Structure 1
Amino acid sequence: MRAILIPALIGLAACSADPAAEQTIARNVVLASTERGAVIAPTFLGRVQAARRAELSFQVAGRVVDVKVLPGHPVRRGDVLATIDTTSFSMQLSEAESRLAEAVAVGKEASSRVGRLRGLVEIGAAPESEWEAAIAAAEAASASVQAMTATRDALAWQRQQGELRAPFDGFVAVRAIEPGQSVSPGVPAIMLDGSGREIRVPVPVAHAQGLRVGHAAVTHDGSQQSEARVLRVGQRQAAGGLVEVTLELLEGGAPGQVMPLRFASPADAALWVPARAVVPTGRKGEGYVMRYQPEIGRVIRIEVAYGDTKGGLIQVVSGLEAGDLVVARGTGFVEDGAPVKPLKGTI
């Protein structure tokens, strides 16, 4: 009996040590993203803002009657966003229009009198001085009409300023007024964010000196990598020896969001991965990595050609694309096609 049991136990032990069986258990791994030259550059933090913005204010003083929007609400060009009480302007406008109508009537009568007296003067039936006085009266009436027209137009403009309208399609970023509040001319009431996104980044002067309009950069919003391009490099130096660089964000990003950003080196378009991710295969400059396939939760072996190393990174010349995820440590201990479990925060 004992002779039968011993081989059986040995067989069980051999089964438990089967490498293939071990690989059916998902191994915890640390992943790293394959990135271009920007990966070796310093990381800066920038704040996203809308490329098209508007700070809206009433042009006349008044009491707020209604505010029709809240922060985050979408608006269309021409939408009424808020109104103030324009009752006094309407009353003044009505009075100005009445006075203007009277002045126009007086001006017409004065012009007619000038015409009648001219005929009488020509036949000697009226003195020339009376005709000259009529001309002066007509000129005064015309000046009065012009002044009252200007007053009427000014009051009409003031009444029109009782409505605050959206100058473009966008979203309400800030609502700074409430119904019943008194507002003064020029004081910000509502701020809108429109199309396009920019990111403003404080950068040390020494680094900013190498930047030009169009310089490429890479941003991350936590789950997605996006490209950016330099629009402006500030000329004034702020506290701490920093200058502000404004970049166009080609996709992603929400106004107010803080995002890490790295400027790319124009001369370095190669891909970089952690040096420990590459396992040499014997020939100079050749090796392999384990690329993660998130759709199936497994890794596959990818042959790569590599070049220089720098700061714990290695340059990948071929075999990978930007954004590929590779096992960053312990690549040689993971079999081709094995299931893996990325450690939290490594993707």
Structure 2
Amino acid sequence: MRRLTPIRPSRLALPVLAVCTLILAACGDSTAPEPAARPVLVVTPASAADSGASAFPGEIRAREESALAFQVGGQLLRRDVDAGAHVRRGQVLAEIDPGDLRLQQQSAQAQVASAEAEYARTRTDRARYAALVDQQLISRSQMDAQDAAYTAAQAQLRAARAQADVAGNQAGYTQLRAPRDGVIASREAEAGQVVAAGQVIFMLAGDDGREVAIALPESRIAGFAIGQPAEIELWNRPGVRVPGTIREIAAAADPQARTYAARVAIADDAVGGLELGQSARVYIAAATADADLQVPLTAIQPGADGGKAVWVVDRAEGIVRSVPVETGPYGARSVPVLSGLAADALVVAAGGHLLREGQRVTPVDRENRPVQVQAAHPAAAE
């Protein structure tokens, strides 16, 4: 007879039997343990007016900067000041050779003398002819010719005097004078050089005020306006800020940098000690007319229909809900919320991509301290 071999259980059978046993045991208890609440970092929306200001690098500039040049051309004989010199209004800064211009002035004066002599002659002739015409010794046409000569001589005299005035002014233009008090910012010509009319000789920075030249980003230009307050901090005075206001914003963006040039005026009582060309940092809180609240960039999550949303902790139930919001232009660290969010909402500021609707959470602040909500955990209620 054939001997029967006893059947041995397979190696995989034991784990399968163990799993089945656990499943059957679980079926005996219908209540599954509730998942633990997930800790989440929450913040309350910040006021747009109190949110952190944006910082822009800039340079100290004069409010009035003038390019100084001669109104006539010639050889530069001398210059009396150099870059960095402080000058007064009317002070002579440089002079060009006045020789040719003085000769032109003398020629114009000689023409004036000639015109005056001609005018005097025609005036005398006109008076003589007027007496003769009264005696009917000459014709009326001859008198009309004398009147015309007198009028022409009078006009030529006026023209000669005007030319003499122009020549005199040009002779005076050989001296370059400061139009206002200020500092010579740069020098562009040397003695002995032949310069043309209008060629820049000096750059004058006036003493009438100091400003900071900055560049505002095109993406956020709507948040800035003329007259908006700002604070200026010099690189060599860290921590010390002086007040200022936006005085000017360019009408068009730079075609390459895509930024708008702006000038921030410094308060007059804070101008002392500021040197031209110093590096500075300007702090401006962007004024968004339609936004009262701001949330961190990390709080914004994709919403329904391609919109924006934030996770908000339900204080009554201790769970998160997705709240659709309308946002403004993104900032460096925050986003203005135009609508959809309450001022006292607990907004999840980090880890929103790991949450789901209705999930129970434990809110904590940035110091990892629990934030009290009204909801009580079911396990604690028992």
Q: Does 1:257 align with 2:278?
A: yes
Cα separation, 2, equivalents of 1:38 and 1:198: 25
| Residue 35 (structure 2) aligns with | none
Hey, what does 1:245 align to over in structure 2? 262
Aligned to 1:217: 230
Q: Name the counterpart of 2:67.
A: 55
Indicate if the aligned counterparts of 1:215 and 1:229 stay in contact, CA closer than 8 A. Answer: yes
Letter in 1 for 2:277: G
Partner AA of 1:263 in structure 2: I
Alignment of 1:4-19 (within 5 A): none
CA 235–124 in structure 1, closer or farther in 2 if over 3 Å, else same: closer
AA aligned opposite 2:280:
M
- The one-letter amino acid of 2:258's match is G
Q: Tell me the alpha carbon deviations over residues 159-184 of structure 1, each in whole angstroms, 9 at most, x when there is no partner.
A: 11111111111111111111111111
2:167 aligns to what? 155
Letter in 2 for 1:117: Y
User: SS where residue 134 of structure 1 aligns?
Assistant: helix
Whole-Å separation in 2 of the counterparts to 1:40 and 1:80:
50
Q: 5 Å matches for 1:191-230?
A: 191-194=203-206, 195-222=208-235, 223=237, 224-230=240-246
**Structure 1, residues 35-59: CA drift from partner, whole Å, max 9, x if none?**
xx88933321112210122111111
Aligned partner of residue 101 in structure 1, secondary structure: helix
What is the aligned counterpart of 2:250 among 202, 218, 234?
234
CA distance in 2, matches of 1:212, 1:129: 75
Q: CA deviation at 1:152?
A: 1.0
- Percent of residue pairs identical: 28
Shift of 1:71: 0.8
Instruction: Kindly provide the CA deviation profile for residues 314-344 of structure 1, in whole angstroms up to 9, marking residues without a partner as x.
Output: xxxxxxxxxxxxxxxxxxxxxxxxxxxxxxx
Q: What is the CA-CA distance between 1:258 and the residue it aligns to?
A: 2.0
Query: Partner residue of 1:326?
Result: none
CA deviation map 1:37-86 (0-9, x unaligned): 88933321112210122111111111111101011111111101111111
Specify which of 77, 96, 114 is matched with residue 102 of structure 1: 114
Of 134, 139, 153, the residue aligned with 2:146 is 134
Please state whether the residue corresponding to 1:206 is helix, strand or coil: helix
The 3-state SS of whatever aligns with 1:105 is: helix
Q: Distance in 2 between matches of 1:98 and 1:72?
A: 44
C-alpha distance in 2 between matches for 1:240 and 1:58 = 35
Q: Displacement, 1:243?
A: 1.4
Q: Partners of 1:62 and 1:95 in 2: how far apart?
A: 19
Give CA deviations for 1:237-259 in whole Å, capped at 9, x if unaligned. Answer: 22243212211022243222221
1:176 aligns with 2:193: no
Distance 1:140 1:261 in 2: 67
Q: Which has the higher contact order (CA 8 A, sep 6+)?
A: 1
Structure 1 residue 150: deviation in Å?
Answer: 2.1
Q: Distance in 1 between matches of 2:125 and 2:176?
A: 48
Kindly provide the amino acid, as one letter, of the partner of residue 242 in structure 1: T
Cα distance 1:107–1:68, how it changes in 2: closer, same or farther (>3 A)? Answer: same
Give the match for residue 99 of structure 2. Answer: 87
What TM-score do you get using the length of structure 2 for normalisation? 0.57
Per-residue CA shift, 1:295-322, capped at 9, x if unaligned? xxxxxxxxxxxxx9xx9xxxxxxxxxxx
| Alpha-carbon distance in 2 for matches of 1:39, 1:74 | 42
Gaps of 5+ in 2: 1-48, 289-345, 350-382
Is the 1:218–1:264 contact (alpha carbons within 8 Å) kept by the matching residues of 2?
no
Q: Which residue in 2 is equivalent to 1:112?
A: 124
How far 1:189 moved relative to its partner? 1.0
d(CA) in 2 for partners of 1:214, 1:135: 66
Taking structure 1 as the reference length, what is the TM-score of the superposition? 0.63
- Give the aligned residue type for 2:144: E
Query: Which residue in 1 is equivalent to 2:33?
Result: none
Alpha-carbon distance between aligned partners in 1 of 2:91 and 2:221, rounded to the nearest angstrom: 41
